[in-house]
Chain A
Amino acid sequence: MADTTQTAPVVEGDKPQIQQAIQPRPLSKFQQLNKLYALPAPLRTFPLPTFVPHNPLSLFHILYVWVSQTVKPQISRFDHLYEGLFSPETRSVHVTDVRSIRGLWEQGFYGKGTLSRSEPSWLDREKTKRGNKGKSTSEDNTRKRRAERQQTKWERARKEREAIDEKLLEEAAAAVQQREELNHVVPVASTLVEEVLDTVEVKEPIQMESKSLAIVDEILEQALERVESPVLKPAKLGWAAPVGPLELLSLPNSDDGLTVACFTEDFDDKYVKRFFAAPVGPMELLALPNSLRSYEPPKLPQHTLSKLPDTNPTDFPFEHESVTLPDVKINGNGSIAPNALGINGHTQPDEIEVVGGSETNEDTIDESIHSDETTETNGTPANGSTLANSRPSTPKVKRQKSVRFSPTVEKNTFIQSEPPSPERAVVASTSVVEEPLEIKNQEHLQLTLEEAFFLSYALGAISIVDPETKAPIPNQDLFYLLRKTSYFPPQLNPALSPDDPFMMNYVVYHHYRSLGWVVRSGIKFSVDYMLYNRGPVFSHAEFGVLILPSYSDPYWTSDPFLEKLSREKQKRTWAWMSCINRVITQVKKTLILTYVDVPKPLSVQEEQDLGIDGVLSRYKVREIVMKRFAANRMRD
């Protein structure tokens, strides 16, 4: 390998020509991506041209390149290092200049992903939003689809509820009839008949009520769930949903409490009270009592019930007098305005949308599957199919991932420019009409500690700056700084433990990076890392990595205290393992249990003598692939 560093010349002549040859043809989206994400790491290479046997000229070409590189050496590292600011508060390294953000992103370092998920495109989207120019962004589409889906779900829930109500009524009526037949006492029978008649009259309005209330109830329930509300309703409370047989038996479908009484009891408790009492906006949510035990449902104003029947069938009673649901608006075609979805305690609805905007329609597929599943809870299959039909057909981004790369695309290593510039990024993102809008780009890249250290220590591609002194932090200091910072809460003066969070994470991160995998945080999938072949724009992650500590070194069993300590650290339950494995299986990935064998601790002096590479080389990494084994499908 030494030879490569010594020799030098550049291919100046050849490369641009190829580029020009390609330029006139409009690049496919895929080619654009390929070009954009050309470098597998923030380093360039300068290979010699290929020797083509039947073309003697190529030999001269090679010679020329070799000579010119020797005369004028190139450096694989970029002329200007990327820059990052160490941030102890967020336990990450902030990258704020556009060049660094774009460059790092395109060369496989994605950070924690704060505002954007697929690309750092927050600013573009923000401009689109404010300027209201151009088409709606994919996020908007997703949002709309979600709202529609939500509406469909509510509609279905309402229908189900109606069917049940109808059934209850019918059974009640049947019971009455039965009793009528058995019971020849005239007065009793006649009152019952009257009650039945009541039922018939009241039926219509009551349906209306349940219809609208069910919807509101849905909204509220969702809002409540989002804030991790105690969903279990203690049975003692009068308005708890009837869950067990005992409550069910006591439900008024036997002989007394028929008709209206039945519904007031059922509905005003279960729906109306919550309808009026439940909090909607963020502020109310914050003010929620922490425990249901301390929660007193307010008294239901008796008059509301009598008013409801008057409601026009096409009106939703949200607009009805005191019933104000701050962010909830229902527009004409029945889809809920986006803000309605924002009731989850965030103060910045924008942020939610940005984070939540998933732009591919795979999400849609997923959701429609979900809704198909939902029909199992009694919905008719028709629901699912209507939904599928009504789904807007948007281009399927996922498909593109399976497209084969065109071999005619320029070779990555020939790119002479510095890392791709921001302008090029625009090509790949949604077409945006540049408006002279003054929007401050609030997006920055937060590199995880492992990413930052790998960039700095392994590749030497970033310079990490101390927030106080504004001076670059040398790797030696950075190593200990990050190890200290990795504890939560941060430890002021921790003993250097060989299994501190940073070391455990970094060893694994470095291991996979050094093999060429693109490593991203796996927090969304409840694992430590996801492994991508080349990067998330090209293919889904194939593997989820779970870091498990191992203490096989005799040191860890050398005394009872250490033995107990290390045993505790290795203890994880099967329920937990099963959960993670199931999550990973659900997203069609494979779980790699990555055991890190922890060496015995060293003193600071010993560590310094070894150097960082020496310290790292004391760790050992073992991989165990875990999959569900479908015993009944392996029979043949």
Chain B
Amino acid sequence: MADADEDAALRSSQPQANEDTDLGDEFQDFRFLAALTAKSGGQLPKRGEKDFEPHGTKHQDGILAASREAMHDVLSYTRVHTSRQYNRAFYYGAEGLHRDDAIREDWRQDLEDDHIVLVESARGPHFKTMGKTTTGKRYPGLWLLPEEALYLVERGNLDLWWPTRSSYTGMVDEEESDKQEKPDNQEEVDEGFPMSFQAAYSMLIGQDGEKGKVSLERYTVYAHLKRMGYAVSRAPDWDLSQPGKSQSHQEELFSESPSIFSWLFGRFFTEQAIEHAVYGPLVKPGMYRSYNSIYRQVAVIPRHKPSPNPSAPAPVADDSYRVAFLLWKPSRLPTFAKSNPGLPDFRVAITDARSTHIPSLTQITSLLESTPWDPPKGKEFEGPGKINQRLKHGWRNVVLAVIDQGVISYLRLGESALGEEKLYERFDGGSNLGPKRGGGAGRGRGRGRGRGRR
């Protein structure tokens, strides 16, 4: 009965429904794309629709041919802007007509360097979560970051143009006719020309830290999250060429005096050290009234104490282990406001599986310390039966998107501290009961956090 049953790999009754399997794990058959759009609620066929191996029947070949055909047809689509909510935009990035040369200064106030796509007239629901409006001017323009622009182009919601000097002014000046000659005939205004989807990729995708561009890894994650409906925005530590800014320690709220221990390990035992024999045993011979007193003698290795305000914070990473995006859940979109989005639900760091290794302790500490203090508080974490939940939640957390050639795996990393939960405290106090019992009377002190070790 020991680990035999633990080998029962998939113990749930619905192996396919557990979080381990994702539809994304499989390359789906495009013949069923139509099923997604159908009114049926978008039920996809179960995994079993595929075959184990080719067996040489024409029947099988026929299905494969049909699937390929379906894929070809779906992807042959050309983006045609048939909607009333037609949005034209101009590219003012470094590869073409540069923004700061082409656009009057008062039309580009308060912009980030990376706002390089100007939307002529922003219509449609996307702009509720995307873009930045220049402020205080008569003709506010809406500017997009490269990932926002590319995503909208990819969706078929944006017609991105390669501008000329007269592109944008041409339109606006119809009303500002006092300054320039109004063109006699609209046809003659050279507004540039539409860029292809391919051109949008080649202009907007670049390296991390490159101005006016976004790396393919970050863009892929951005688009993936947007397709799920999240509101996504850049995090303060986005720019790898800049030192990280977001040290979200809440110094005012928690002004514990910093301990003398290093940034990595917070505070350790504050009570007097126990004298040990040089070569043990750590548990001195004699009579003990409780396991508590026994186990206290065994504690010789420093334990991590999570703190809202690390006394010596880890250096901010200069590499990809930084928060790149902030996420707000789709369910919050109805009340979402770009100007005042509120605290994000998740923070996402992005790393490329092929060019990076798993993070070192320093990298991971630095990454976690750039996120806010988020201890396991609240009803769902209370009580001695919730030890595991508390430990799994941790005291800080971050989502890490690991990307391998366009395939994304999301991981949640939590700063945990098993030293905060002293299991041995349950060994005393009457019966040595099971972990799930919830503790006997008077033992409801499972939360070791904040309690001194006396």
Touch test A–B (CB under 8 Å): yes
Residues in chain A within 8 A of chain B (CB atoms): 1, 4-5, 7-8, 34, 38-41, 43-48, 50, 69, 73-77, 110, 113, 117-119, 164, 167-168, 171, 241-245, 248, 251, 253, 357-360, 362-363, 365-366, 369-370, 372-373, 375-378, 397-398, 402, 404-405, 407, 409, 411-413, 456-460, 474-476, 479, 507, 510-517, 520, 524-525, 530, 533-534, 536-543, 548, 550-552, 570-578, 581-582, 585-588, 590, 592-593, 595, 597, 611-613, 616-617, 619-636
A80 to B440, CA, bound (A): 33
A375 to B47, CA, bound (A): 10
A397 to B295, CA, bound (A): 32
Q: Assess the B353–A574 pair: CB atoms within 8 A.
A: yes
B253 neighbours in A (Cβ, 8 Å): none
Q: Which residue of B lies closest to A242 (CB)?
A: B56
- Tell whether A363 pairs with B4 under 8 Å between CB atoms, given A411-B431, A516-B423, A590-B392: yes
Q: Assess the A612–B279 pair: CB atoms within 8 A.
A: yes
Give the contacts of B1-32 with A (CB-CB under 8 A): 1-13, 15-16, 19-20, 22
Q: Which residue of B lies closest to A160 (CB)?
A: B52
- 4 further interface pairs, Cβ-Cβ under 8 Å (given A1-B293, A409-B431): A517-B423, A538-B435, A612-B279, A630-B19
Q: Which residue of B lies closest to A536 (CB)?
A: B2
B61 neighbours in A (Cβ, 8 Å): 248
The 10 A-B residue pairs with the shortest CB-CB distance, nearest first, are A376-B48, A460-B281, A516-B423, A516-B424, A611-B278, A358-B4, A550-B361, A5-B286, A533-B435, A366-B8
A474 neighbours in B (Cβ, 8 Å): 279
Stretch from B128-136, B209-217, B402-410 at the A interface: B402-410
Q: Assess the B288–A45 pair: CB atoms within 8 A.
A: yes
Q: Assess the B435–A621 pair: CB atoms within 8 A.
A: no
- Tell whether A617 pairs with B300 under 8 Å between CB atoms, given A512-B418, A624-B415, A630-B410: yes
Q: Which of B264, B283, B358, B387 contacts A573 (CB 8 A)?
A: B358
Stretch from B69-77, B87-95, B114-122, B301-309 at the A interface: B301-309
Q: Assess the B358–A574 pair: CB atoms within 8 A.
A: yes
Q: Which residue of A lies closest to B277 (CB)?
A: A611
Q: Which of A44, A458, A570, A627 contacts B280 (CB 8 A)?
A: A458
Contact with A along B268-285 (1 / 0, CB 8 A): 000000001111111111
A630 to B9, CA, bound (A): 20
- The answer to whether the Cβ of B447 comes within 8 Å of any Cβ in the partner chain is no
Q: Which of A43, A253, A537 contacts B2 (CB 8 A)?
A: A537
A458 neighbours in B (Cβ, 8 Å): 280-283, 298
Smallest CB separation, A21 vs chain B (Å): 15
Q: Assess the B290–A365 pair: CB atoms within 8 A.
A: no
Smallest CB separation, B412 vs chain A (Å): 4
- The answer to whether the Cβ of B67 comes within 8 Å of any Cβ in the partner chain is no
- The answer to whether the Cβ of B260 comes within 8 Å of any Cβ in the partner chain is no
A570 neighbours in B (Cβ, 8 Å): 357, 360
Q: Assess the B357–A572 pair: CB atoms within 8 A.
A: yes
Q: Assess the B228–A632 pair: CB atoms within 8 A.
A: yes
Q: Assess the B4–A245 pair: CB atoms within 8 A.
A: no
- The answer to whether the Cβ of B201 comes within 8 Å of any Cβ in the partner chain is no
- The answer to whether the Cβ of B342 comes within 8 Å of any Cβ in the partner chain is no
Q: Which residue of A lies closest to B362 (CB)?
A: A552
Q: Assess the A514–B299 pair: CB atoms within 8 A.
A: yes
B250 neighbours in A (Cβ, 8 Å): none
Q: Which of B7, B22, B281 contacts A459 (CB 8 A)?
A: B281
Smallest CB separation, B116 vs chain A (Å): 28
Q: Assess the B361–A548 pair: CB atoms within 8 A.
A: yes
Q: Which residue of B lies closest to A541 (CB)?
A: B6
A572 neighbours in B (Cβ, 8 Å): 357-358
Q: Assess the A457–B8 pair: CB atoms within 8 A.
A: no
Q: Which of B20, B52, B287, B303 contacts A4 (CB 8 A)?
A: B287
A634 neighbours in B (Cβ, 8 Å): 329, 345-346
- The answer to whether the Cβ of B316 comes within 8 Å of any Cβ in the partner chain is no
Q: Assess the B364–A624 pair: CB atoms within 8 A.
A: yes
Sample of 23 A–B contacts (CB below 8 Å): A1-B293, A1-B296, A45-B291, A76-B283, A248-B56, A369-B15, A378-B48, A398-B8, A510-B301, A511-B418, A533-B434, A538-B434, A548-B358, A574-B351, A578-B402, A586-B9, A586-B20, A595-B361, A597-B265, A612-B279, A620-B264, A624-B414, A632-B22
Smallest CB separation, A333 vs chain B (Å): 26
Q: Assess the B286–A164 pair: CB atoms within 8 A.
A: no
Contact with A along B51-79 (1 / 0, CB 8 A): 11111111101000000000000000000
Q: Assess the B228–A631 pair: CB atoms within 8 A.
A: yes
- The answer to whether the Cβ of B373 comes within 8 Å of any Cβ in the partner chain is no
Q: Assess the A118–B300 pair: CB atoms within 8 A.
A: no
Dominant secondary structure of chain B at its interface with chain A: loop
Q: Which of B291, B297, B399, B430 contacts A629 (CB 8 A)?
A: B399
Residue with the greatest number of chain B CB neighbours at <10 A, chosen from A511, A520, A576, A581 = A511
A40 neighbours in B (Cβ, 8 Å): 291, 424, 427, 432
A524 to B4, CA, bound (A): 10
- Tell whether A457 pairs with B282 under 8 Å between CB atoms, given A118-B4, A514-B299, A597-B264: yes
Smallest CB separation, A611 vs chain B (Å): 4
Q: Assess the A359–B1 pair: CB atoms within 8 A.
A: yes
Q: Which residue of A lies closest to B24 (CB)?
A: A632
A253 to B284, CA, bound (A): 81
- The answer to whether the Cβ of B189 comes within 8 Å of any Cβ in the partner chain is no
B364 neighbours in A (Cβ, 8 Å): 593, 595, 624
Smallest CB separation, B431 vs chain A (Å): 5
- Tell whether A360 pairs with B4 under 8 Å between CB atoms, given A243-B54, A366-B11: yes
A69 to B392, CA, bound (A): 43
Q: Assess the A117–B4 pair: CB atoms within 8 A.
A: yes
Q: Assess the A516–B422 pair: CB atoms within 8 A.
A: yes
Residue with the greatest number of chain B CB neighbours at <10 A, chosen from A46, A243, A552, A630 = A552
- The answer to whether the Cβ of B331 comes within 8 Å of any Cβ in the partner chain is yes
- Tell whether A592 pairs with B416 under 8 Å between CB atoms, given A245-B54, A550-B361, A577-B358: yes
Q: Assess the B5–A376 pair: CB atoms within 8 A.
A: no
Q: Assess the A627–B412 pair: CB atoms within 8 A.
A: yes
A539 neighbours in B (Cβ, 8 Å): 434-436
- The answer to whether the Cβ of B317 comes within 8 Å of any Cβ in the partner chain is no
B430 neighbours in A (Cβ, 8 Å): 50, 407, 411
- The answer to whether the Cβ of B124 comes within 8 Å of any Cβ in the partner chain is no
Q: Assess the B362–A73 pair: CB atoms within 8 A.
A: no
Smallest CB separation, A238 vs chain B (Å): 16
A514 neighbours in B (Cβ, 8 Å): 295, 298-301
B418 neighbours in A (Cβ, 8 Å): 511-512, 515, 517, 592, 623
- The answer to whether the Cβ of B428 comes within 8 Å of any Cβ in the partner chain is yes
Smallest CB separation, B343 vs chain A (Å): 15
A95 to B203, CA, bound (A): 69
- The answer to whether the Cβ of B289 comes within 8 Å of any Cβ in the partner chain is yes
A614 to B384, CA, bound (A): 33
Q: Assess the A516–B425 pair: CB atoms within 8 A.
A: yes
Q: Assess the B422–A363 pair: CB atoms within 8 A.
A: no
A365 to B8, CA, bound (A): 8
- The answer to whether the Cβ of B419 comes within 8 Å of any Cβ in the partner chain is yes
Q: Which of B8, B58, B404 contacts A171 (CB 8 A)?
A: B58
Q: Which residue of A lies closest to B225 (CB)?
A: A631
A244 to B54, CA, bound (A): 8
Smallest CB separation, A35 vs chain B (Å): 10
Smallest CB separation, B435 vs chain A (Å): 4
- The answer to whether the Cβ of B145 comes within 8 Å of any Cβ in the partner chain is no
Q: Which of A75, A110, A530 contacts B287 (CB 8 A)?
A: A75
Smallest CB separation, B421 vs chain A (Å): 7
Q: Assess the A5–B287 pair: CB atoms within 8 A.
A: yes
A371 to B308, CA, bound (A): 49
Q: Assess the A407–B360 pair: CB atoms within 8 A.
A: no
